[in-house]
Amino acid sequence: MAEFDQYKNDYQRIVERSIRFGGKPHDFYTKLKAEYFISILRERHPHEKNLSLLDVGCGHGVIHPYIKNSVGKLTGIDMAGEVIAMARKKNSGVSYSTFDGEHIPSPDHGYDAALMICVLHHVPPLKWADLLCETRRVLSPGGSLTIFEHNPLNPLTQLVVRTNVIDKDAVLLRRGHLVRLMAEAGFTDLESRYILVTPFENAYARKLETALGSIPLGAQYYVTGRARSE
């Protein structure tokens, strides 16, 4: 994923162009995912106020302004060193570092929670399981991992991926496949739902989103689970 350095200055423009038919800017979807993630953290860690959170494959850290005040320490890692440098300049109070895509620079059980947003579809499928196992290694027993991914069953998502040069080598995985991979990697108490059913912000749209979370209509989905105690 270090090749993303070549898009470091054009990332936002490329993404905006690929999703413009939906009528909402990229920031709308980022904020919505942040809301979901904060809700997951509160549910998974109701009594922990100073969580240490690792964002694996964080890129420019566009979600970090919306989640950093909900945790005690936020760390972002990515293979793209120039992108990480840009994220570091933009987001004060967040710790950033590069990694090789395989070995997370952390001791065992170094974090309470971890996050991946649209990362796995850029990872070679044969390495999906390894990255999940490595992420579990750095989580404390019972620590949570939440993954957001594109829904390949949504035709509009397929259109976005096809028209986005950043996703030219993407391999999308279905929600059920990711659930199985996480279970095999040692995650338990797994929950998942489809999100981004509509590009609207009103109360009716939110209710509709909640009601349709189990149906593969959303543009994306998330899976969350706990690191199994050894």
11-19 vs 26-44: helix axis angle to the nearest 10?
100
pLDDT digits 0-9 by tens, 60-92: 999 999 999 999 999 999 999 999 999 999 999
Task: Give the position of tokens 């108490």.
Answer: 189
Averaged pLDDT for residues 200-221: 75
CA atoms within 13 A on the CB side of 81: 2
How far apart, in whole angstroms, are the C-alpha atoms of residue 125 and residue 29? Answer: 26
pLDDT digits 0-9 by tens, 194-206: 998 776 666 666 7
Task: Give the position of tokens 């939440």.
Answer: 146
Which residues make Cβ contacts (< 8 Å) with residue 116, sequence separation at least 6? 55, 56, 57, 135, 145, 146, 147, 148
How far apart, in whole angstroms, are the C-alpha atoms of residue 120 and residue 128? Answer: 7
Helix and strand totals (H; E) in the chain: 8, 7
164 compared with 93, residue with greater pLDDT: 93
Mean pLDDT rounded to a whole number for the chain: 89
Averaged pLDDT for residues 197-218: 72
Q: Is the pLDDT of residue 97 over 90?
A: yes
Of the pLDDT bands very low, low, confident and very high (cuts 50, 70, 90), residue 8 is low
CATH number of this structure's domain 2-227, picked from the four choices 3.40.50.150, 3.30.70.20, 3.40.1440.10, 3.40.640.10: 3.40.50.150
Among 16-20, 98-102, 155-159, the range scoring the smallest mean pLDDT is: 16-20
Among 57-61, 164-168, 203-207, the range scoring the smallest mean pLDDT is: 203-207
Q: Which two tokens stand for residue 49?
A: 């106020």
Whether the Cβ atoms of residue 224 and residue 192 lie closer than 8 Å to each other: yes
Whether the Cβ atoms of residue 104 and residue 187 lie closer than 8 Å to each other: no
How far apart, in whole angstroms, are the C-alpha atoms of residue 15 and residue 223? Answer: 23
Which pLDDT belongs to residue 214? 77
How far apart, in whole angstroms, are the C-alpha atoms of residue 46 and residue 40? Answer: 10
Which pLDDT belongs to residue 6? 67
Which pLDDT belongs to residue 18? 64
